[in-house]
Amino acid sequence: MIDVRALTEKPVLEGDRIRLVPLADRHASAFHAAFQDPETRRLTGTHHDWTLAEIRAWIAECGTRTDRLDLAVEDRETGGYLGDLALSRIDRDNAHGSFRIALVPGATGRGLGPEAIRLLLGHAFDRVGLHRVELEVFAFNERARRGYEKCGFAVEGRLREALRWDGAWHDVLLMAALRPTDAAPTARTTQ
Q: What is the pTM of this model?
A: 0.89
Which are the contacts of 47, defined by CB distance < 8 A and separation ≥ 6? 41
**φ/ψ (deg, to 5) at 71:** -130, 145
* pLDDT one-digit tens code per residue, 151-191: 999 999 999 999 999 999 999 999 999 999 865 444 333 33
pLDDT digits (tens, 9 = 90+) for 67-117: 999 999 999 999 999 999 999 999 999 999 999 999 998 888 889 999 999
Interatomic CA distance for residues 113 and 156, integer angstroms: 21
Residues 126-148: tens digit of each pLDDT: 999 999 999 999 999 999 999 99
Rounded to whole angstroms, the Cα distance separating 173 from 70 reads: 22
Burial status of residue 51 (CB atoms within 10 A of its CB: 0-12, 13-18, 19 or more):
exposed
User: d(Cα 126, Cα 134) in Å, to the nearest integer?
Assistant: 16
Task: Report the half-sphere exposure of 102 (CA within 13 A, side-chain side).
Answer: 19
Please check whether residue 170 is in contact with residue 138, taking contact to mean a CB–CB distance below 8 angstroms: yes
CA-based nearest residue to 175, from 157, 159, 161:
157
Left (φ > 0), alpha (ψ -120 to 50) or beta: where does 45 sit? left
Is the Cα torsion angle 90, 96, 98, 104 positive or negative in sign?
positive
